[in-house]
Amino acid sequence: MTQFTRFILIPLSLALVISCTKSKPLAMVGEQAITKDEVNLRLSMLKVFNPQMNENAALEQLIRSATIVEILKNKGITIDEKRVSEEMTRLQTAAKNNPQMEALLKNFGNKKSFKDMYVMPMVAEQLAFREAFQKDEAFHKAEKEKADMLFANAKANPSKLESFAKELGVPVRKGSFNEKEGLVWDASGRDVANMPPLPSGVGFGQMWKRNILDKAGSGKVSPQVESIGQWMVVVRNDGSSKNNTKFTAAFVTRKNFGEWFNQSRQMVKVTRMEGQQANAQTPQNPAPKAN
């Protein structure tokens, strides 16, 4: 089968490992080969950020990305050109304040291989998180039941949100929103040390106020359990004064993406050729957010 025919037959969602030249396959993910040329190209891109990266790390990243694409395919989720173009635009914006990303785009950005070897893996990971992992009701069943119980109790008696959360072992954080600083989390409280950094700032704060606080009403909880990253959140509006709105949020933590990926990938056949060793501790794509 010619390279041209391969390109025509294989849809964009499976284009992670298509190469312009033939070379020795180092691994197979399903029926898709990952070649030495592709690994070397991926490695060249990674070394822009970390000169210590090696071939095995690049290979494992491509295996992971191709596996995610297969998982998405099995769930009926495809990666379209629009998503790839949007991510490319985001990277171009990020490059304005990131010399390494600027160098990466300068050296590789105009090549189709850049989309296949760098942008597509990022889009696949993001899509898997939002559309598959977060929406996997069976995987998150226990945590969802806890969040639903907390929400029902807090809705009936908002003032006892903290007590209900403590009974369920759910961490609580307090915070506030104002137009100048955006969302600011209170640095005090019993659960601060046990939680990772939370989203904050003006942009996120405006979204938080518009979609959550304004819909809750003073002294009441938000109309539904909110989804924020890895958390399911029950939020109470604690009232406003002088353009400053305070709130209390209880966070039910989902099982993490790594657990979901390890479970889901059992359905995808991965074959490493002789001499290629698995390495689960592989750094992911450098993906700076646009400011």
Cα 143 from Cα 271, distance rounded (Å): 34
pLDDT of residue 209: 93
What's the predicted TM-score (pTM) here? 0.68
pLDDT of residue 190: 67
157-195: pLDDT as tens digits: 999 999 999 999 999 999 999 999 999 999 877 677 777
Q: What is the mean pLDDT of the chain?
A: 85
- Domains along the sequence of the chain with CATH: 3-136+260-272 (1.10.4030), 141-253 (no CATH)
- Residue ranges in the chain whose pLDDT is less than 50: 1-21, 280-283, 286-291
**Count of beta carbons in the 10 Å neighbourhood of residue 275:** 6
Shortest CA distance to 207 belongs to which of 228, 231, 232? 228
Shortest CA distance to 150 belongs to which of 253, 242, 260, 40? 253
pLDDT of residue 277: 58
224-255: pLDDT as tens digits: 999 888 899 999 999 998 889 999 999 999 89
Percent of the chain scoring above 70 in pLDDT: 86
Shortest CA distance to 233 belongs to which of 192, 264, 262, 198? 198
pLDDT of residue 242: 81
